[in-house]
Chain A
Amino acid sequence: MIELKGVTKLYQGQAVPAVQNLSLSINRGEICVFVGPSGCGKSTTLRMINRMIEPSSGTIEIDGKNIMSSDPDSLRMGIGYVIQQIGLLPHRTIAENIAIVPRLYKWPKEKIKSRVNELLEMMGLDPAETRNKYPSQLSGGQMQRVGVARAMAVDPSIMLMDEPFGAVDPVARNRLQDEFLRLQKEINKTIVFVTHDINEAIKMGDKIAILNQGQLIQFGTPEEILTDPANDFVENFIGYDRIVKKLNLYTVAEAMKTSFGLVDEAEFSGINAKIPNAEVIFVRDQGEQLVGYLTAEDLSAQGAQRLTQVARQKRLSFVKLNTPLPDALSLMLENDADYVAVLDGDRLCGAI
């Protein structure tokens, strides 16, 4: 757990503190996102946690221990640190870059080597191919992954990430975010994440701290912040599409209907009797492939022999359980469909 108590940073020669009397606590295994406009003090706060910057007053505790009581270098060795510019050492190979902190800990060579391979694989990079490359030979997205791998090298329980995906294009950023969230489910780190992008904050954060002019404006879960913005600043910062953004918090799994019908084409005669309460009925052919769906209205309006045609005319699309809700909705708009099928793996499990 990271606990900030009344932390203030006043730079020499400046009248207004960069960070002012900031208190908050970040729970173990949580991603806490600091978000705000540039100059709001979010990076300064992050950098105070590993003593890259020393606070002017207030205390920061990690697991109950004041960070000022430990040596800055060993403190930093125990905290993963990723910055936007990544800062890979250009004269070291990828493997050597990742091995920096393990080497500081004097791990044996074999252990370092296997850890590096493990991390590269975890990051979706081929170890054999990537190990001996130099940073300049990688793409921006790959370098970002190496940066994250390097920060995780000794499996620190805390990671500080300062706009880690800021330097890559939106498509790659999206993918990196997804991958990282998936990874976080396994590794369960305590993460402090800085961004200026509220959408990234909503997507990544378990908790969001909105900062402005060095002050903490609101601290809470994405739902809380979207539902109940503390003031006009937060409301403006989130933007007018607050409702749409809130949808982002939900996945298909949370919104789908689990009552649906499933029939084979051949059995159309007795449908009403068999599945009386379903709003939607999916239709499959003899090969058990889904081919279309019927609504309750279709059933009452059409004769049984035409049902196959009606079902097949409708474009059937599929989404996964963890697809964000807005994606599913836009798919429906695109296909002009009333329903989409939700799949859990190969199994049909719901409808929207």
Chain B
Amino acid sequence: MSWKFFSEALFQKAPHALLVHLLIVFVTVSLAIVISVPLGVLLTRRNYQRFGIVALNILNILQAVPGMAVLALALPLFGLGLKPAIIALLVQSLLPIVRNTIAGLLGVNNDVKEAASGMGMSARQILLEVELPLAMPIIISGIKTTTVYVVSVGTLASLIGAGGLGYLIMGGLALFRFEYLIVGAGLGALLSIFFDWALSYLEARITPPGIQVE
């Protein structure tokens, strides 16, 4: 171990790698939320419910594909760089959120929905004021799963030239420069644990107080 390489990795290479990694995570997760939550909502509406099983099955199969393979396949399809990496990561980011959105919405007590509709709340009001708030903890939990996944598989994004913390790790492995490797791997682990913790906290915070009491 040499302090010179260590500090070089930590202070010169890591900040940029970390920023790129965060960029990948934020863009992918945001896109995943924007696509998955409405999709989950749609698949629980009466007219579209029958597509739910089909959609979940497709996403389930996609989920079994190893992340490395998905990233690898993005290269011939979309080329090198950040965009292909994000598209590849997005493919597998959808399922946890879609699944949890559906589970959360279906989990809302029917009596509550019935009462809300009986009071004259419109379908839209029931969705926004009753169903989504009650399903939110479960949706957040899905977002957490996705985020941790993206941080983790995101380290492989450097394979197709997207940079990020994986770049430090790969470089370290290729050059036998363990200092790089430790910095990259350590930051990756910390980042992932941080997101897990932060989103768990959000999940607990956002759980409506009336439900926590139980």
A81 within 8 A of B: yes
User: Given A87-B112, A90-B208, A81 and B118 touching (CB < 8 A)?
Assistant: yes
Query: How long is the Cα–Cα vector from A52 to B121 in the complex, in angstroms?
Result: 12
Count chain A residues whose beta carbon lies closer than 8 angstroms to a beta carbon of B: 32
Kindly provide the distance from the CB of B40 to the nearest chain A CB, expressed in whole angstroms. Answer: 19
Would A52 and B119 count as touching, CB distance under 8 A?
no
B82 within 8 A of A: no
A314 within 8 A of B: no
Residue of B nearest to A132 (CB): B209
A135 within 8 A of B: yes
The stretch that binds B, out of A72-80, A207-215, A315-323, is A72-80
Query: How long is the Cα–Cα vector from A92 to B113 in the complex, in angstroms?
Result: 14
Q: Chain B interface: which size bin? A: 20 to 34
Would B121 and A134 count as touching, CB distance under 8 A?
no
Would B210 and A104 count as touching, CB distance under 8 A?
no
B117 within 8 A of A: yes
Would A81 and B119 count as touching, CB distance under 8 A?
yes
Other-chain residue from B121, B122, B133 in contact with A91 (beta carbon distance below 8 A): B133
CB-CB under 8 A from A93, the residues of chain B are: 210
Kindly provide the distance from the CB of A149 to the nearest chain B CB, expressed in whole angstroms. Answer: 12
Other-chain residue from A50, A73, A85, A90 in contact with B210 (beta carbon distance below 8 A): A90
CB-CB under 8 A from B109, the residues of chain A are: 85, 87, 90
Would A76 and B120 count as touching, CB distance under 8 A?
yes
Other-chain residue from B115, B122, B214 in contact with A81 (beta carbon distance below 8 A): B115
Would B210 and A91 count as touching, CB distance under 8 A?
yes
Q: Give 1 or 0 for each of A29-70: 1 = CB within 8 Å of chain B CB.
A: 000000000000000000000101000000000000000000
B213 within 8 A of A: yes
Would B118 and A52 count as touching, CB distance under 8 A?
yes
B87-129 interface (Cβ within 8 A of A): 109, 111-122, 125, 129
Q: Give residues in A with beta carbon < 8 Å to B.
A: 50, 52, 72-79, 81, 83, 85-93, 100-101, 104, 134-137, 147, 150-151, 160
Q: Give residues in B with beta carbon < 8 Å to A.
A: 109, 111-122, 125, 129-130, 133-134, 208-211, 213-214
**Can you name 19 A-B residue pairings with CB atoms under 8 Å?**
A50-B118, A52-B118, A76-B118, A78-B120, A79-B120, A83-B111, A83-B115, A85-B114, A86-B115, A87-B111, A89-B115, A89-B134, A90-B208, A101-B119, A104-B125, A134-B211, A135-B210, A136-B210, A160-B118
